[in-house]
Amino acid sequence: MIQDESIFTNRLIQDFNQCFGHTPEFMVSAPGRVNLIGEHTDYNDGFVFPVAIDKYLHIAASQRSDREVHLYALDVEEECVFNLDSIRESNTPPWSNYLKGVAHFLQEQVLQGSEHTLNGITAVITGNVPIGAGLSSSAALEVASTLAFLGGCGLEIPHSSVNTNNGIQVLECSPLEVASICQRAENEFAGVNCGIMDPTISLLGKADHALFLDCRSLDYEHIPLNLTDILIVICNTNVKRELAASEYNKRRSECENGVKIIQQWLPSITSLRDISVEDFKKYEDKLPEITQKRCSYVVEENTRVLKAVSALKTNDVETFGTLMNASHEGLRDDYEVSCDELDLLTEIAKNTEGVFGARMTGAGFGGCTVNLVYQDRVDEFQNKVNNEYPKHTGIEPQIYICNAGDGARIKWISDN
Ligand code: GLA
């Protein structure tokens, strides 16, 4: 994997050279993520448990002396130019909104009133985080571009550099503040009211660890993945998530609506996070049916995350897997964000010995499942998925065996 990454980054440096005629000053890399459990809980102030995967979005970049941003996206062969003084959301091309959004909020939220101003940058973008697969390619792009814009004015955030003692100025800005800029970019420039999970794990990922994050307090703990002989296997339905943005925003408002109704009896609650399973049972029949289903899923999922974290701490993979399966059932039946293809993949997993747990991961409506699989059974599981999934769907799946990787980094090339 590490070798793959260095081949990738060397090629990117060459491509940058070809595009712009000089070597880039720095490279940033930000990983995608897979969420092990705790789905659709982040925007309900709840708990999540993702890992950063060893698939990265890379940007090679150099500072410019003006305020223009010149971008070239290698994988889609598209370019975009915009000016930092006149940032406007626009779909030409759509991916540029993530960069425009983070540049806008960096200027407005982080750098305003400080001694720093953004410079333009020249950048080439590439990566191997599958796009539109629920593995957070957009958060990886937002995080990488935030570090790239800061790099363009000679700044790093704490612990983001792979070169130490390089004399580069460190901006006193916590990773969580960077995550909130990325979230705002996605909310206000891409129109998805997503939560804080994806950029946070892309920044705070740690090799061989999962991140237990409280999305209200933003307290977090890295939990070692002592999964001896067990691998994280991701299966991609290759189904595009057409309705994802509108249905996602709808789920969020259904949850908020549920909170408003329950507040009549429990006025101190501000989100579903504040309601225990027992209390919810007392009031659930006051809610319209759909609202009740959505809220009951979230309330239960929060308790599942807490149990799953405890199970992992004692290496109880059986319990962890059972909780993953229950999470999928809730997402399928109550939250209704699964789809036939995701359900089929979880059924194949359930019928394969040595698979401890399987569930959809990410926003849903397509994308991927995450599976914990006993190492000796991985081949058998892959064969089954590769045979049975296309038979029923006519679609070829993709399978990734993932390691938990490190979070986003900047590497100063001139320092080598
Ligand atoms: C998307 C969002 C996240 C989170 C997940 C569902 O990935 O970006 O904030 O809500 O869906 O858990």
Domains of the chain: 5-224+405-412 (3.30.230.10), 230-402 (3.30.70.890)
Q: Which long-range contacts (CB under 8 A, 24 or more apart) does 300-303 make?
A: 300/326, 300/330, 301/37, 301/38, 301/39, 301/40, 301/41, 301/46, 301/327, 301/330, 302/38, 302/41, 302/44, 302/46, 302/47, 302/272, 302/273, 303/277
Question: Angle 96-105/175-189 helices, nearest 10 degrees?
Answer: 130
Candidate of 35, 39, 198, 241 to mutate for ligand 1, largest count of ligand atoms within 8 Å of Cβ: 198
Phi/psi zone of residue 134: left (φ > 0), alpha (ψ -120 to 50 degrees), beta?
left
CB 151 within 8 A of CB 168: no
Tens digit of pLDDT at every position of the chain (416 positions): 445 667 778 889 999 999 999 999 999 999 999 999 999 999 999 999 999 999 999 999 999 999 999 999 999 999 999 999 999 998 889 999 999 999 999 999 988 888 999 999 999 999 999 998 999 999 999 999 999 999 999 999 988 888 776 788 999 889 999 999 999 999 999 888 999 999 999 999 999 999 999 999 999 999 999 888 999 999 999 998 766 788 999 999 999 999 999 999 999 999 999 999 999 999 999 999 999 999 999 999 999 999 999 999 999 999 999 999 999 999 999 999 999 999 999 999 999 999 999 999 999 999 999 999 999 999 999 999 999 999 999 999 999 999 999 999 999 986 44
The model's pLDDT over 10-47, given as tens digits with 9 standing for 90+, comes to: 889 999 999 999 999 999 999 999 999 999 999 999 99
In this predicted structure, what is the pLDDT of residue 192?
Answer: 87
Residues with CB under 6 A from ligand 1: 35, 39-40, 42-43, 136, 194-195, 197-198, 362-363
Task: Please tell me the residue having the least CA distance from ligand 1 atom 9.
Answer: 195
H or E element, residue 230: strand 230-236
Residue from 33, 34, 36, 40 to probe ligand 1 pocket by mutation (most atoms less than 8 Å from CB): 40
Q: What is the mean pLDDT of the chain?
A: 94
**pTM of whole model > 0.85?**
yes
Catalytic residues: 198
